[in-house]
Structure 1
Amino acid sequence: MRRRGLMAGGLALAGMAGAARAQDRFPDRPLRLVVGFAPGGPTDIVGRRFAERLGAVLGQPVVVENRSGASGSVGAIEVARARPDGYTLLLTTPSAHAIFPQIAVRPGYDALADFSPIGLVTIAPVVFAAHPSFPARSLPEMMDLVRARPGAFSFGSGGAGTITHFGMELFLHQAGGLRLEHVPYRGAGPAVQDCVAGHIPLVVDTFAPMIEHHRAGRLRILAVLAEQRSAVAPDVPTAAEHGVPGAVANTYNALLGPAGMAEAAVAALGRATRQATENDEFRAFLHAISAEPVSGMTPERTAAYIRGEYAKWTPIIQASGLRIE
């Protein structure tokens, strides 16, 4: 009896040791990275290059799966409901994690409670530009013109409820309640093209779809909604430089998993994300598409950043009165 007891105890200890070794080897199979937007879009482009770098660091393939729809919420719902084993991840944006959950009547997920933040991959500041025929040549002139003729001018965005739409709403609020009419488009491309063609006087998005038009003189970027000027276009002033403090709006790509992930898995993925985003080749790629890489974002700092972004947009969203059934 004693011998059998010792053998059983030894087998149990061996099983525990095997389980520990399996945890130490995380990940030991391919991972799935859900992107809540269509192939070829900016989040998909960043996601696929990031997946390559993350896979190289982890020693396992990271397979991108597009689950597009409803401002990225379709992908967010899928990951929120996934098994929290660390093998299903989400590359999200503020549209899915700061805006949509606050304007949708039934979003289908809790942006803060249903996820495990892992790391921040990149940010891109919101900017707005004018057609060359627009009478104002600078940000102060633009504010004076809009203040003198409230509601007389319009701006285009990639859609109602997007981070770029609310980025402009934030600027208008911080500038003293300026009034511009919003013209929502189905994506940034059509909005920018209509501004280049002169159909709308102003357009708001990120540097990526506008920087070449700015350099060629087809558009004039008036301001970047960031704390400091961007290396992408150092000639473009921040809104704060012209007396509009607090007008800071970024889109971002953050890596999340489902809520309830083991701390060891979150830590391992966080370390791998930081290593991937600090890779020189990856950072050069981000600069080339007018995005800004980030460094040193631990899971804890990423969680704080996402909570801060969510809270920042709450009063702007409430003031807009925008709701989606």
Structure 2
Amino acid sequence: MGVASLSGANGLALAQQDYPSRPVRVIVPFAPGGQTDVVARLIAQRLSDKLGKQFYVENAAGAGGNIGVGRAAQAAPDGYTIVFIDSIAFAANPSLYAKVPYDPVADFDAVAIGATTMQVLAVNPSVPARTVQELVALIRAEPGKYSYSSAGVGTGAHLTGELFKSVLKLDMLHVPYGGGGPAIAAAIAGHTQISFGSAAATISQHQEGTLVALAVGGKARLKGLPNVPTFLEAGYDVVCEAMVGLLAPAKTPKDIIALLNKEVAAVVAMPEVRDRLATLGFEVSSPSPEEFGAVLKAELPKWADVIRTAGIKTAQ
């Protein structure tokens, strides 16, 4: 990420002690009601309460998040415009689209992670596999027979499915749908045998028995699916964590970034916030800005390789 610098200006540092002195624009580059929007609004409201100035959400949806992220990249680096991102979309879009209106490294400073979720591999109960190893054996025994549903081309679910295919060298068909709900419904109905879906959508279906979750994409197990192993535990190098993270335009003063990082960590540690996030399939973590920035940098080549290998193209 860009390096936030405060170039020896003690007067500027002192001025930032009054931050925020006016409302702060919180850009969400997706439509209202989606998971990034829900997390952003939950955190923005608490930041408003804690810091005494309104953190107001501005939805700027379109082009897979590129419009809103591009708008944030052009904002003044003064702490009064921040943007919540989906880390997979943020890292993948420069490879999915011919042109994006931002440089993911040079144009932003990492601030904080609001919450982390992960993709879940699940199957229709009719599939005779109750472990991911059994599913892999089925797919290898009959190449081309099995298909998986996703929320659409280039989504986190699609990219996770292609990562799974690539790492294990599997032959299975991708069937994109117009959102996570229809994709899950397709797997439940048996139109596809396999689903890659959000934790929030899959947990309830697994509990009801309409889908069987076989593996989760995090580095650790999901609290809502404590008996379902990670891909790593199953022996497969498949990690697909989506961070709803907070970025600021590059060269935002370091003390503002430090303050926001501290306050976001305090917000997500609140029991009512943590519990609400858990119901949405999110886990809470509070790394430093530098740690978050390093994770984002590592995501860029990872998803670029998946997109290149799978030959994924967007309509734009």
Q: CA–CA distance in 2 between the matches of 1:265 and 1:229? A: 33
Residues 242-286 of structure 1 show CA distances to partners (whole Å, capped at 9, x for unaligned) of 321x21111110100111212222222222222222222211111
* Paired position in structure 1 for 2:261: 270
3-state SS of 1:53 partner: helix
1:182 to 174, 185, 197: 174
Alpha carbons of structure 1 residues 26 and 160: separation in structure 2 relative to 1, 3 Å: same
- Counterparts of 2:11 and 2:93, CA distance in 1: 43
Distance 1:61 1:256 in 2: 18
1:238 aligned partner, one-letter code:
T
**Structure 2 residue 157 is matched with structure 1 residue 164:** yes
Work out whether 1:214 is the aligned partner of 2:214: no
Give the structure 1 partner of residue 242 of structure 2. 251
Q: Which moved more, 1:269-278 or 1:76-85?
A: 269-278
Q: How many residues align?
A: 307
Which of 191, 196, 201 is equivalent to 2:183? Answer: 191
Residue 292 of structure 1 aligns to a residue in which SS? coil
For the pair 1:287 / 2:275, whether they are aligned, the reply is no
Q: Does 1:130 align with 2:130?
A: no
Could you list the per-position Cα deviations for residues 16-62 of structure 1 after superposition, in whole angstroms to 9, with x for gaps in the alignment? 99866532101111111111111111111111111112222322111
Question: AA paired with 1:285?
Answer: R
Letter of the aligned partner of 2:202 in structure 1?
M
* In 1: Cα distance, 2:127 partner to 2:231 partner: 18
| CA apart distance, 1:239 | 1.8
CA-based RMSD: 1.7
- The answer to whether the 8 A contact 2:109-2:251 is kept is yes
Residue aligned with 2:226, SS? coil
Q: What is the aligned partner in structure 1 of residue 76 from structure 2? A: 83
Q: Does 1:323 align with 2:313?
A: yes
What is the percentage of aligned positions where both structures have the same residue?
37
> What is the rounded CA distance, in whole Å, between the counterparts of 1:96 and 1:141 in structure 2?
30
Structure 1 CA distance, aligned partners of 2:10 and 2:129? Answer: 70
How many Å separate the matches in 2 of 1:179 and 1:289? 32
- Quickly say closer, same or farther: Cα 1:120–1:17, change in 2 above 3 A: closer
Say which of 28, 41, 51 aligns to 2:44. 51
Q: Which runs of 5+ in 2 are unaligned?
A: 1-8
1:40 to 33, 36, 49: 33
**Superposition TM-score, scaled by structure 1 size:** 0.90
Match of 1:302 in 2: 292
CA distance 1:95–1:20, shift in 2 (3 Å): closer
Larger Rg computed on CA atoms: 1
Cα pair 1:72 1:95 within 8 Å, conserved: no
For residue 240 of structure 1, report the CA deviation from its aligned partner.
2.4
Partner secondary structure for residue 112 of structure 1:
coil
SS in 2 for 1:68: coil
